[in-house]
């Protein structure tokens, strides 16, 4: 007989300080703006001189949790971390948690190279291979006592080639979200932010804990 799954109790986040476990100033500003109306004051991990942990997990949840738990433990405050990436179905979910690594070069990240690598990998699957893909964003919220809960947002879509558009970042030019015909990089940023995997994860977090 299978065991019943007991849902994890959701802990509410009280108004006050929240560490955003990221050294990316743009990300911290964006998250801070989203949470300010709920009485949350976002503080960046960089402002607190917190170290950036190595992302040793093999899942989005594991990486988001390790970043949030470390920041909560070191700061003594609740902390929020995210981990995201692109999963291509015909590539068994690659690049997945290694999405940023596919862009690494000795001189920094090269997104044209990363998009080309994904396209080349897809080409090896033949002309009839599925071009379905999804972006994932996992948000992990941790407290100094080790309590952690996470929310997974997704955006389904299709891989296109050649890349289109020049707004946004990362793999935006090769991903067309379901239901539209513009790539993420051709959309107005507000339009992308309303439908993205990150928007989905934040909507779940806000509904559950605020
Ligand atoms: P991380 O979550 O900071 O580890 O980054 C994962 C990688 O996924 C980023 O460096 C981007 O390349 C990619 N990624 C995540 N979200 C998006 C998006 O909205 N558009 C394009 N690429 C993204």
Q: Is the CB of 63 under 6 A from ligand 1?
A: no
Q: Which residue is closest in CA terms to ligand 1's atom 23?
A: 170
**Chain centre distance of CA 161:** 23
Using the structure block, give the residue that is written with the tokens 């291979």: 129
Q: How far apart are the first and last CA of the chain?
A: 37
**pLDDT at site 45:** 96
In this structure, the residue with its CA closest to atom 11 of ligand 1 is 170
Distance CA 26, CA 168 (A): 12
Query: 62 in helix, strand or coil?
Result: helix
Is position 24 within any domain? Answer: yes
Q: What is the pLDDT of residues 201-210, one digit of tens each?
A: 999 999 999 9
pLDDT at 2: 47
**Better pLDDT: 113 or 29:** 113
pLDDT digits (tens, 9 = 90+) for 36-89: 999 999 999 999 999 999 999 999 999 999 999 999 999 999 999 999 999 999
Which residue reads 């559950």 in tokens? Answer: 208
Residue 185 token pair: 């990089």
Ligand 1 centroid to 21 CA: how many Å? 15
Whether residue 149 is contained in a domain is answered as: yes
Kindly name the residue from 82, 83, 94, 200 that is annotated as catalytic.
83
Rounded mean pLDDT, 154-161 = 98
Task: Give residue 199's pLDDT.
Answer: 94
Q: Nearest C-alpha to atom 9 of ligand 1 is from which residue?
A: 100
Half-sphere exposure of 80 (CA within 13 A, CB side): 24
Q: Is 49 a catalytic residue?
A: no
Pairing verdict, β 104-105 and 108-109: antiparallel
Query: Following CA atoms 20, 25, 31, 34 in sequence, which dihedral angle do they give, to the nearest 10 degrees?
Result: 140
| pLDDT value at 117 more than 80 | yes
Kindly provide the b/e burial profile for residues 90-109, where b requires at least 16 CB atoms within 10 angstroms of the residue's own CB: bbeebbbbebbebbeeeeee
d(CA 21, CA 140): 10
In the chain, the number of structural domains is 1
pLDDT at 8: 63
Residue 170 labeled ligand binder: yes
Range of 181's domain? 16-209
Structure confidence at residue 1 (pLDDT): 44
Query: Is 83 known to sit in a ligand binding site?
Result: yes
The answer to which of 6-15, 128-137, 186-195, 201-210 has the lowest mean pLDDT is: 6-15
In a domain, 167, yes or no: yes
Residue 181 inside a domain? The answer is: yes
Q: How far is the CA of 99 from the centre of ligand 1 (A)?
A: 7
Would 6 be classed as within a structural domain?
Answer: no
- For the residues of 75-108, what is the DSSP string, one character each? HSS-EEEEEEEEEEGGGTT-BGGGTTGGGEETTE
- Which are the contacts of 136, defined by CB distance < 8 A and separation ≥ 6? 60, 84, 85, 87, 152, 153, 154, 197
Domain at 202, CATH number: 3.90.950.10
Q: How confident is the model at residue 26 (pLDDT cuts 50, 70, 90)?
A: confident
Q: Is 171 annotated as a binding residue?
A: yes
Ligand 1 neighbour 99 (Cβ under 6 A): yes
Q: Which atom of ligand 1 is nearest to the CA of 63?
A: 4
Tell me, yes or no, whether 64 lies in a domain.
Answer: yes
Per the CB < 8 A criterion, the answer to whether 160 and 174 are in contact is yes
Q: What percent of the chain has pLDDT over 70?
A: 96
Whether residue 171 has its Cβ less than 6 Å from ligand 1: yes
The pTM of this model reads 0.93
Tokens representing 143 are 């407290």
Q: Is residue 11 part of a domain?
A: no
For the Cβ of 102 lying below 6 angstroms from any atom of ligand 1, the answer is no
Q: Can you give the pLDDT at residue 4?
A: 58
Residue 31, in any domain of the structure: yes
Backbone angles phi, psi at 143, to 5 degrees: -115, 160
The atom number, within ligand 1, closest to the CA of 60 reads 2
């Amino acid at each position: 007989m299978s065991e019943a799954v007991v849902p994890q109790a959701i802990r509410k986040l009280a108004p006050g300080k929240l560490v955003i476990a990221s050294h990316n100033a743009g990300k911290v500003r964006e998250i801070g703006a989203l949470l300010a109306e709920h009485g949350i004051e976002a503080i960046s991990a960089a402002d607190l001189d917190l170290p950036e942990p190595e992302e040793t997990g093999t899942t989005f949840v594991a990486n988001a949790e390790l970043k949030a738990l470390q920041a909560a433990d070191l700061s003594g405050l609740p902390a929020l971390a995210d981990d995201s990436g692109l999963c291509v179905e015909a590539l068994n979910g690659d690049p997945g948690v290694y999405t940023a690594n596919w862009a690494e070069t000795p001189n920094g990240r090269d997104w044209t190279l990363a998009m080309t690598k994904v396209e080349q990998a897809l080409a090896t699957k033949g002309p009839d291979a599925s071009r379905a893909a999804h972006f994932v964003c996992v948000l992990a919220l941790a407290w100094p006592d080790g309590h952690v809960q996470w929310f997974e947002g997704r955006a389904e879509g299709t891989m296109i080639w050649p890349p289109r558009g020049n707004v946004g970042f990362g793999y935006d030019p090769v991903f067309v979200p379901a239901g539209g015909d513009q790539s993420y990089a051709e959309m107005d940023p507000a339009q992308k932010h309303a439908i993205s995997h990150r928007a989905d994860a934040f909507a779940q977090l806000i509904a559950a804990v605020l």
